[in-house]
Chain A
Amino acid sequence: MIAVELRKLASRPRVWLSIGLLCALPALVAVLLSVSNLAPPPGQGGAFLSAVLRNGALFPAAALALVLPVFLPLAVAVFAGDAVAGEAATGTLRYLLVRPVSRSRVLVAKMVALAVFIVLAITMVVVTSLVVGLALFGTGAEAVGQSGAATSLSGVTLGPGELALRLLGAIGYIVVCMLGFGSIALFFSTLSDSAIGAALAALAVLIASSVLQTLQAADSIKPYLPTNYWLSWIDFFRDPILWRNIDSGLVLQACYIALFFGASWANFAAKDITS
């Protein structure tokens, strides 16, 4: 079933379209930056964008910062929201279940496909932005990490190997964050027979969480908001790496994954399939 799910993923035009759009946005930004050579002033604009002009190898990090707040969760919500509700809407869910594929197996396969989709999307963004960054900005002979960039890199020079390692760490962290968010969307997907409805519900959670994060009165619940530690992947580019928020973020996302995957399972396993 997992293999079938991955084949469906690979054969789906929508999947590749959304990944293509995710890659297009950073590429567009890179082109505009290189043409105008106007970096955002220090402290403003996207993270890393100032540093990028001096070192194209940092562009993947800038690209992640561009897609993470909205576009990546959007793609994840659409994909995960479609996971069960989409099958229900096309009617294929009932045929899968009488094939028979057990309901837990369906759900696990959907979760695995979701994880693969997230890894695939982020990898594609990183690879394309690395290529674009290196092509447009070069490798940057001088040291990276001038202080004054939106996120300080603590002023310490990072070698290419070190940089790659940290980038991998950041990718892994973002994948976990997206998986936590995706499991919320998956849960909504088991509730509804409408893929759009499930995706929108997940996005509503995302927006609500982002709104609360900026609200001082919500300070007490802030550490539990799903989006709270999303931006902590930037801490991978500090020196030394600031593990505190990253660790809290991983624990929080693990809780969200367990909670919502469990809820999806509890709901889906007992559900009457009337679609």
Chain B
Amino acid sequence: MIRTRGLTKRFGRITAVDGVDLDVRAGDRFGFLGPNGSGKTTLVRMLLGLVHATAGEIEVLGERMPAAAARVLPRVGAMVEGPAAYPHLSGRRNLSLFDAAGPGGGRRGRVDRVEDALARVGLSGVDKRAVSAYSLGMRQRLGLAAALLRGPSLLILDEPTNGLDPKGIREIRDLLIALNEGGTTVFLSSHLLAEVELLCTRVGIVDRGRMVLQDDLDNLRAPTGQVLVRSPDVAAVAALLAGRVVARDGEELTVRHADAAELNAELVRRGLRVSGIAELRRTLEQVVLESTGDSGDRVDRPPDPGAAQRRTRPTRGGDRTDHPREPDPTVAERPTTGDHLPGETPGEPDATTTGRTGDSATHRRGPDPEAEPDSAAGRISGDLHPGDHTGAPDGEVRR
């Protein structure tokens, strides 16, 4: 349904999408995941012909995009970066204008198409008030209705449940599953992992413009070959399984074992009590965190090989591109920064969830209570300076 080869998009010197090979098959519910700023939206825009690729090929519904846009797009329903509507018109009026604007928008049947789409997303009772008076959730539903208006065979949705309450999210999920069972391929870009886990059959994970992983959700969540055992006789269990215990936490043991049922039987046979036992599966969250780097909207300071040099610099007036805190000893107190460099290899296999959440606290550096009084004013201007936030390679902004 969607296939890209080496898809690349550069905006000036920034590479937003870098050699992505996407493969969405007919009938998939494809979850397209990635941190903020990882290039999801740019890729979606390229699929729809809104943004022109710098390099690579795009095939949607078997035809080349954007060359065949006039044939492809009428069969695609899309929601890109939130819904949009003319605020001074009612939802119905918006849908009917949208229907009339493009091809195949004959007057006959328009009212039915609009009412049908509104009913599907749960807005059939909506009155004549203008969209500007709609709640965020209502706008989201209206955007979905616009995507469904033409009975598409492919739905490309960017964060479709944004702004909906839990009940609304559930409704939309059920709607998308029902549509998918009726033959519509669903391509959903999101960073709501739980949502994707519940809805999708396949996922692709993108990080800093690169596709780092693309697989069936079932494969990704395959058993890890480890079993979690909880037992009041934890010491005896550990002794019995010596050499296979991976971790121990109170009454809980993580054990390398292929079959939880067999392990259970064995423990019971030896008279050891088991209060809980479960096969360990990776959660989608673990998969994503292992395959992606930092959150895209974090801006850490770049690696500091030049920190020592800058500390000895005689003057730091005039050009405030340097961080004004540089002589501050806190620079040296950031040993964990190394784990979070923007240049960190994605897909680093050993990084664990706990490791990341554990030390992320060190990066919540808000206003520092121990600020040096003499540099307080400089700090403000320094923090506002874009050079400190771009994460640009050393030597460009800094020197």
Q: Chain A interface (Cβ within 8 Å of chain B)?
A: 1, 3-4, 7-8, 11-13, 90-92, 94-102, 270, 272-274
Contacts and interface: CB of A to CB of B under 8 A. Distances in A.
A1 B89 CA distance: 17
Top 6 A-B pairs ranked by shortest CB distance?
Answer: A91-B84, A99-B102, A100-B73, A273-B50, A272-B51, A4-B101
Interface stretch (B74-82, B235-243, B342-350): B74-82
B69 interface: yes
Most chain A CB within a 10 A radius of its CB, from B42, B50, B69, B81 = B50
Given A11-B88, A91-B84, A92-B85, A101 B101 contact: yes
Contacts of B76: 98
Contacts of B83: 91
B50 A90 contact: no
Given A90-B85, A91-B84, A272-B51, 7 more contacts: A1-B102, A91-B83, A98-B48, A98-B49, A98-B76, A100-B102, A270-B52
14 contacts: A1-B101, A1-B102, A11-B93, A90-B86, A91-B81, A96-B98, A98-B48, A98-B80, A99-B102, A101-B101, A101-B102, A102-B70, A270-B52, A272-B45
B108 to A, nearest CB: 15
B276 interface: no
Contacts of B73: 98-100
B97 A100 contact: no
B70 A95 contact: no
Contacts of A91: 81-84
Contacts of A13: 88
A180 to B, nearest CB: 27
Nearest to B80: A94
A83 to B, nearest CB: 14
A100 B80 contact: no
Nearest to B51: A272
Contacts of A92: 84-86
B118 interface: no
A3 B83 CA distance: 23
A8 B97 contact: yes
Interface of B: 11, 42, 45, 48-52, 69-70, 73-74, 76, 78, 80-89, 93, 97-98, 100-103, 146
Nearest to A274: B51
A11 B90 CA distance: 11
Nearest to B77: A98
B97 A272 contact: no
Contacts of A95: 78, 80, 84, 98, 146
Contacts, number: 78
Contacts of A272: 11, 45, 50-52
A267 to B, nearest CB: 13
Nearest to A273: B50
A273 B51 contact: yes
A96 B101 contact: yes
Contact of A97 (B49, B82, B93): B49
Nearest to A5: B101
A94 B86 CA distance: 13
A269 to B, nearest CB: 10
B103 A100 contact: yes
Contacts of A100: 49, 69-70, 73-74, 102-103
Contacts of A7: 97, 100
Nearest to A2: B101
Contacts of B42: 274
Contacts of B84: 90-92, 94-95
A102 B74 CA distance: 12
B213 to A, nearest CB: 26
A88 to B, nearest CB: 10
Contacts of B103: 100
A7 B93 CA distance: 10
Contacts of A99: 73, 98, 101-102
B87 A90 contact: yes
Contacts of B93: 11
A92 B98 CA distance: 9
Nearest to B74: A100
A4 B52 contact: no
A249 B180 CA distance: 60
Nearest to A97: B50
A104 B277 CA distance: 64
Contacts of A96: 98, 101-102
Nearest to B70: A100
A155 B36 CA distance: 74
Nearest to A109: B101
A93 B73 CA distance: 15
Contacts of A4: 97, 100-101
Nearest to A88: B84
Contacts of A1: 101-102
A70 B80 CA distance: 40
Contacts of A90: 84-87
B100 A98 contact: no
A98 B11 CA distance: 22
Most chain B CB within a 10 A radius of its CB, from A4, A7, A91, A98 = A98
Nearest to A270: B52
Contacts of B97: 4, 7-8
A89 to B, nearest CB: 10
B393 to A, nearest CB: 25
Nearest to B42: A274
A4 B51 CA distance: 25
A98 B88 contact: no
Contacts of B48: 94, 97-98
